[in-house]
Amino acid sequence: MIIVGAIAGSFGVHGDVRIKSFCAVPEDIATYGTLMSDDGKRSFEIDITRSIKNGFSARIDGVITKEDADALKGVTLHVSRDALPSLPDDEFYHADLIGLEVCDTGGTVLGRVADVLNHGAGDLLEVNGPTLKASVLLPFTRAHVPTVDLSARRIIADPPEGLFE
């Protein structure tokens, strides 16, 4: 399951909710059909009613009052990975990168991708490995990650000097 958004609380007094979309095209959150909670126990059909600051106002089946909407605040919305569209060759879903083996250009295994982070200046691959004292943050740029081979589950990296020492 891939997270595509979150419910940020109520919007108004008639049961509408605020939706934060994490999709590249924010409106796409409404095109995936049934969305699931992170535990998979609840499902949601959302109908976007309008765009608002930092998200959307939406209706959810069964949510009638402001209190119903407030009770959903913080619920993350997920969709099956299979429901997401295919990407061009040079773009990747973060979930597809997690767990990939990271090797340097000489074939030495550096570790595995534990997470993909973005603090505003670009994506970073968090790499963990048994020979590393701590996690290493590898810039996810073409210069430092020239090859991502999803079928082989491997990344070839050319890390900045001294990063993995």
Amino acid at 43: S
Q: What pairing do the DSSP bridges indicate for beta strands 101-104 and 154-157?
A: parallel
Q: Are 102 and 138 in contact (CB under 8 A)?
A: yes
Q: Report the distance separating Cα 53 and Cα 35, nearest Å.
A: 22
Indicate whether this model's pTM tops 0.75.
no
CB-based contacts of 121, cutoff 8 Å, min separation 6 = none
Q: Report the distance separating Cα 127 and Cα 147, nearest Å.
A: 16
Amino acid at 114: A
Half-sphere exposure of 17 (CA within 13 A, CB side): 29
For residue 38, give both structure tokens.
């992170």
DSSP codes joined into one string, 82-98: GGSPP--TT---HHHHT
Q: Which domains does the chain have, with CATH numbers?
A: 2-83 (2.40.30.60), 94-157 (2.30.30.240)
Place of tokens 């429901």: 83
Residue pLDDT tens, the chain, 165 long:
888 899 999 998 888 999 999 887 888 888 888 899 988 889 999 999 999 988 999 999 889 999 999 999 999 999 988 888 888 888 888 888 999 999 999 998 999 999 999 887 889 999 998 888 899 999 999 999 999 999 899 999 999 988 887
